[in-house]
Amino acid sequence: MTHRIVTLPGDGIGPEIVAPAVELLKRLGDFEFDERVFGGASIDASGTALTDEVLDACRGADAVLLGAVGGPKWDTTDPHAPRPEQGLLGLRKGLGLYANLRPVKPIPALYDASPLRRERIEGTDLLVVRELTGGIYFGEKQRTAERASDLCEYTVEEIERIARVGFGAARSRVSSVDKANVLETSRLWRETVMRVHSEEFPHVELEHVLVDNAAMQLVSSPRHFDVILTENLFGDILSDEAAMLTGSIGMLPSASLGERGGPGLFEPVHGSAPDIAGQGIANPLATFLSAALLLRHGLALETEAAAVESAVQRALDGGLRTADLGGEAGTAQATRAVLDNLE
Ligand code: IPM
Ligand code: MG
């Protein structure tokens, strides 16, 4: 069976890192690729970051691989102007992708590339499970000349389903992160997580951590964490912080999943890096690792997924370092190194 993959290269370095990922995937199976315009590029072409046609193409695909969106060209504080990020949020909402998985496992060859000391990060292997279609991102927004507000809302059902993903992914412990000492949504979050835990996952250890404390523990004792289960905005912030444990945000992949049967969205956690776009120096490894997640979670091709991950690992063991990791390899050289290590 041929799998259909929609690719959305997007903006900035997006096209430069998606193209090599497609090259990599072509080595691993008989996939059909359908490239579509998305983000700022789509605003330029049709005035909106995500057209209905592209959303429909994504709905009909087996998986979606995304590069990155955004750039100074479309940066604006005008609430009526289209923004590239709306494409991403529209895609997450439109495909019902409520579960965002961001694995953070520093590769030993890169221990010394992290701004944190090696002893701190050694052995870290955690997964951020971020709720992706609720909370302050999607609540009602208001703006007058004198005031602005963003509503943060969560329903029990939204919390239950992401909690199940978190507990299901845990090997030992779930650290549920909230701000229950201040926020009502966090109190509902905490109660709901506790109920799902006692009713369905009593064998998994559960702890509750306030978000400010979680931010601190992520750098003071990252090894402590297994699954970090959290809401949309906290997950956004904590996952960038966690990315630095791996040496560079250029290393972190992500998977966004919805109900069974629908296509997942796979993308690097980093942005479009407009400052280095077009120079051929972007690190493609987070996109390769996202392609691995696509193979594993999107297409149930575990062997191929593991092959990509080991090829990346071997390339790094062999000395591959892109500029963000303090080295000199460009995108093409990094791609070659990984392809050469594919077994
Ligand atoms: C991410 C990004 C997005 C988010 C932006 C681009 C809207 O930062 O995927 O983490 O905030 O979710
Ligand atoms: Mg982010």
CATH number of the domain to which 148 belongs: 3.40.718.10
Q: Does any ligand 1 atom lie closer than 6 A to the CB of residue 236? A: yes
Is 179 assigned a catalytic role?
Answer: yes
**Same domain as 303, residue 220:** no
Q: Final residue of a domain: which of 212, 246, 280? A: 246
Closest C-alpha among 165, 154, 153 to residue 99: 165
**Same domain as 73, residue 120:** no
CA count, 13 A, side-chain hemisphere, 28: 28
Domains identified in the chain, total number: 2
Query: What does each of the 343 residues of the chain score in pLDDT, given as a tens digit?
Result: 799 999 999 999 999 999 999 999 999 999 999 999 999 999 999 999 999 999 999 999 999 999 999 999 999 888 889 999 999 999 999 999 999 999 999 988 888 888 899 999 999 999 999 999 999 999 999 999 999 999 999 999 999 999 999 999 999 999 999 999 999 999 999 999 999 999 999 999 999 999 999 999 999 999 999 999 999 999 999 998 998 898 888 899 999 999 877 999 999 999 999 999 999 999 999 999 999 999 999 999 999 999 999 999 999 999 999 999 999 999 999 999 999 999 8
**Same domain as 119, residue 190:** yes
Closest C-alpha among 297, 223, 209 to residue 253: 297
The per-residue pLDDT for 261 is 78
**Same domain as 84, residue 178:** no
**Same domain as 152, residue 256:** no
The per-residue pLDDT for 243 is 87
Q: Does any ligand 1 atom lie closer than 6 A to the CB of residue 231? A: no
**Same domain as 74, residue 182:** no
**Same domain as 214, residue 302:** no
Q: Which structural domain, as residue segments, surrounds residue 199?
A: 115-246
Tell me the best of 38, 50, 86, 88 to mutate to test the pocket of ligand 1, counting ligand atoms within 8 Å of each CB and taking the most.
Answer: 88
**Same domain as 210, residue 279:** no
**Same domain as 191, residue 98:** no
Tell me the best of 11, 85, 100, 131 to mutate to test the pocket of ligand 1, counting ligand atoms within 8 Å of each CB and taking the most.
Answer: 85
**Same domain as 159, residue 213:** yes
